[in-house]
Structures are given as C-alpha cells and as structure tokens.
Amino acid sequence: MAALKYAGLEDTDSEEELPPGWEERTTKDGWVYYANHLEEKTQWEHPKSGKRKRVAGGLPYGWEQETDENGQVYFVDHINKRTTYLDPRLAFTVEDNPVKPTTRQKYDGNSTAMEILQGRDLSGRVAIITGANSGIGFETAKSLALHGAYVILACRNMSRGNDAVQRILTEWHKAKVEAMTLDLASLHSVQLFAEAFKSKNMPLHILICNAAIFGAPWCLTEDDLESTFQVNHLGHFYLVQLLEDVLRRSSPARVVVVSSESHRFTEIKDNSGKLDFSLLSPSKKEYWAMLAYNRSKLCNILFSNELNRRLAPHGVTSNAVHPGNMMYSSLHRSWWVYTLLFTLARPFTKSMQSQACLPRSRARNGETATPAQAARREGRHC
Ligand SMILES: NC(=O)c1ccc[n+]([C@@H]2O[C@H](COP(=O)([O-])OP(=O)(O)OC[C@H]3O[C@@H](n4cnc5c(N)ncnc54)[C@H](OP(=O)(O)O)[C@@H]3O)[C@@H](O)[C@H]2O)c1
C-alpha cells in the first residue's frame, strides 16, 4: 500500500483516468504533461484533477531515454528490444506540490541556470552564445543544451570551442551542440559568422551576447577601434544587426546582453550632455582599462534597451543582465592584480562550476589564427 500511496495510485476512483483523446507524456527531465490529440494542444495540468506531476526515480534497469528528430522523447527497452513513447515511470508519478505563490521571488542570486530551467523542454529551440567556451557563457550553453536546445557556441578559438562542446557531450551524449568561429575583435569575422549561420537555414530563438574582455591593455583591433569597446559592445551590436531578420522570423525570440553592475561607474557624455564618441574608442593616452570596460557595459545596456524598444513589437525582446559581482571565471586574466582580487573575493561571491574555466595555457600553441590574432602575433594589433 505504501508503494501505491507513493505512486499516487491508492485512490482507485477515476480522477486520474484521462478523458478520451488525451495522452500522458514526460519531458526529458521527468515532468509529466498532457497532450490532446483532437485539439492538438499540450498542458502541464491533468485535464481532470488539475494536478501537476513528475515521475519518481530513474528508469528501470535496461531502459534508456532518447529523443527523435522532432525533439520528442521516447524510451528504449534494451532487454525486451522495443521502443515506446510511454515513459515506464508513469506508473510511479508523484504530485508536484508547488509552494503556494508568495510575494517572495522564486529565484534569487544563488539560483543556478539549471534550477531556473528545471522542467523546461527546449527541444526545437536554437540558441547562439558568444564566448561560450568558458565561464558564464559555458554554463549557460551547457544548461540550455541539457534542456534540449540546439546550442551554437560562438568562440574566437575553435580549439577551445570544440573542447567546450566535448565537455557538454560528456554530460549528455545526445546534446545538440556545435562550435563556430566568431572573433568579435574583427567585424569581418562577425560577418563571416552571420553568413555561416544563415547558410544553415536554422531559426534563432535565443541570442546571448556574453563574450567580453576586462582590464585589457590598450590596443587596436584590425578595424582600428579600441579592443574593449569593439569586443564587448560593437561586435555584438553588429552581430545582432546581421541576425535581426532571422530573429524576427523566429519570433518569439530573445536577445540577452550580459552587462555588468559596473556600468554605473562611468559616463559617455561630454560636459554639455552630448554623447562623446571619442570616449568610446579612446586613444592610448586617454585609455584606462577599468573605465573602458565600464563604458562598454553601459553601451551594452543602452543598446539592449533600444533594441527592445524597436524589436519587441515584432516578437523579439531584449534584456541586459548583471550576472553577479566578481565571479571567479577567466575574466580577470589580463593582469595578476585582478586575479588576486578575484581570488580574495572568491569565497564571498557566486560560484561557477570549476569545469567552466579552461586552462589558459591551451590558448597559446597550435591553433588556427583569425586575421586579428595573426596581426596581434605580429605585433600590429592587440
Ligand atoms: N565574472 C564576473 O564577475 C562578471 C561580472 C559582471 C559581468 N560579467 C560579464 O559576464 C560575461 C562573461 O564573463 P565571464 O566572467 O564568464 O568571463 P570569461 O570566462 O573570461 O568569458 C569570456 C568569454 O569571452 C570570450 N571572448 C573574449 N574575447 C573575444 C572575442 N574577441 N571574440 C569572441 N569571444 C571572445 C572568451 O574567449 P577566450 O576563452 O577565447 O578568451 C571567453 O569565452 C562578460 O560579458 C562579463 O562582462 C562577468
């Protein structure tokens, strides 16, 4: 009886029986949903009882969960050599008793991406994340991929990008992930990336502008612009312009721009209150790395707000986010003093899973260089 009670089966009246035309299914991470074949709709609540459920425990011995080409979850029984769309754990579902909504926020600063995505099935959704081979970008890419999305890791270095892809595949060998070259310090590379993506004829539902450099010494990109400004803001700005048509066609779609709280500590206007363009890409004499970073993050927010104003009526939203203060990623790598500060702050700040940080030594040898990187090696640019 205890087992039946656990499975929610002790009540034998017909409350749990599905009306005709309904079928019970499960998502990859075990949430039960209901499909109505006549009305061609799905819902989380049981059509009679209104209860939400999830399956309890893992699959029985010999069973494996797979996803077909339409993103539909199915189950393989290796012992009896058969496949079925019916989750064998459906006999053992437990009621999902969500905590009654209160005025408190459901998520807080310590919530992880996996927690926020829990219960979501992102099959059929396509996401691009810039700078996804490490840190916040990698964690985001992994979380989206583990929930079924097709994720493109847009990285300046294919070796590091492919390494990140492998790390995600190690977690789930069916994850749909690929790395593509994108060097935001080169407008030509941004253009090539957009063309390569468009040639795949895929939709684009999520574009996360995450890549950034911080505290970098002054240097010019191949486009003769200060590198922090171009990598953190202008490269992303251009990327979004080039992909805007795909985003619109894929609506509802969203752009997320990873900014920072530090945008507050700067200004991009001159004394008369006008936008001062010389502050955006300053000369070496007028350059201060922290200010350049803060300005680029302010540009991120201004861009995201304006993008949202223009595209939201077309089903494409844009939001700028602050991920947390001094999270230990690779961001501090440009100067040992920053590394020291980030290390000291580490016990008190949000954590990133350790596998998100790639050893920097791999960056140096045996990798294909973009024109910008080649120029950098020859000392022409940064
Ligand atoms: N960590 C924090 O405390 C913090 C706080 C506030 C905001 N943020 C923001 O969070 C975002 C992610 O930072 P993170 O902490 O995860 O740092 P991270 O680990 O250093 O990640 C930055 C990513 O950007 C990539 N990148 C750098 N230059 C690029 C270029 N020219 N083209 C393409 N990709 C490039 C890096 O690739 P490589 O590995 O090849 O260099 C790396 O994958 C950034 O926008 C940052 O401003 C972070």
Q: Are strands 176-181 and 150-155 parallel, antiparallel or unpaired?
A: parallel
163 lines ligand 1 (CB under 6 A): no
User: How high is the pLDDT of residue 229?
Assistant: 97
User: How high is the pLDDT of residue 365?
Assistant: 30
User: How high is the pLDDT of residue 367?
Assistant: 31
Contacts of 364 (CB under 8 A, 6+ apart): none
Strand order in the sheet with 176-181: 176-181, 150-155, 126-130, 206-209, 253-258, 316-321
- Using CB atoms within 10 A of its CB, is residue 335 exposed (0-12), middle (13-18) or buried (19+)? middle
Cα of 208 to ligand 1 centre, how many Å? 12
Residue nearest to atom 44 of ligand 1 (CA): 212
User: How high is the pLDDT of residue 377?
Assistant: 41
327 lines ligand 1 (CB under 6 A): yes
Contact between residue 150 and residue 127 where contact means Cβ atoms under 8 Å apart: yes
Residue 204 C-alpha from the chain's centroid:
13
Burial of 127-157, coded b for 16+ CB within 10 Å and e otherwise, reads bbbbbbbbbbbbbbbbbbbbbbbbbbbbbbb
CA distance 109 to 314: 31
CA distances from 23 to 43, 69, 97, 317 (A): 11, 20, 22, 34
Query: What does the block give as tokens for 316?
Result: 């494409």
Contact between residue 372 and residue 183 where contact means Cβ atoms under 8 Å apart: yes
User: How high is the pLDDT of residue 184?
Assistant: 98
One digit per residue, pLDDT tens: the chain, 382 residues? 343 343 333 444 456 788 888 888 887 777 888 888 888 788 888 888 888 888 877 778 788 888 787 777 888 888 888 898 888 888 777 776 655 544 455 677 777 787 788 778 899 999 999 999 999 999 999 999 999 999 999 999 999 999 999 999 998 888 999 999 999 999 999 999 999 999 999 999 999 999 999 999 999 999 999 999 999 999 999 999 999 999 999 999 999 999 998 898 888 888 888 888 888 999 999 999 999 999 999 999 999 999 999 999 999 999 999 988 878 888 888 778 788 887 887 777 777 653 332 222 222 232 333 233 333 444 434 5
Cα of 309 to ligand 1 centre, how many Å? 26
320 lines ligand 1 (CB under 6 A): no
Ligand 1 atom closest to the CA of 137, numbered from 1: 16
* Tens digits of residue pLDDT in 232-248: 999 999 999 999 999 99
CA distance 85 to 198: 33
330 lines ligand 1 (CB under 6 A): yes
How much is the pTM?
0.71
CA distance 56 to 30: 8
Q: 36: which strand partners?
A: 22, 41
Cα of 335 to ligand 1 centre, how many Å? 15
* Three-state secondary structure call for residue 91: helix
Cα of 84 to ligand 1 centre, how many Å? 43
CA distance 133 to 141: 9
Cα of 183 to ligand 1 centre, how many Å? 12
CA distance 183 to 187: 8
Residue 65 parent element (H or E): strand 63-67
User: How high is the pLDDT of residue 14?
Assistant: 59
What residues act catalytically?
A: 293
User: How high is the pLDDT of residue 360?
Assistant: 26
Query: In testing the pocket of ligand 1, which one of 129, 130, 153, 156 has its CB within 8 Å of the most ligand atoms?
Result: 156
Residue nearest to atom 46 of ligand 1 (CA): 212
* Tens digits of residue pLDDT in 304-313: 999 999 999 9
Contacts of 239 (CB under 8 A, 6+ apart): 130, 182, 184, 190, 193, 194, 207, 209
CA distances from 282 to 24, 214, 256, 293 (A): 60, 16, 27, 12
Contacts of 258 (CB under 8 A, 6+ apart): 136, 137, 208, 209, 210, 212, 300, 320, 321, 323
Amino acid, res. 58 = G
Amino acid, res. 218 = W
Query: What does the block give as tokens for 210?
Result: 């995450």
Q: 209: which strand partners?
A: 257
Query: What does the block give as tokens for 102?
Result: 């209160």
Contact between residue 208 and residue 137 where contact means Cβ atoms under 8 Å apart: yes
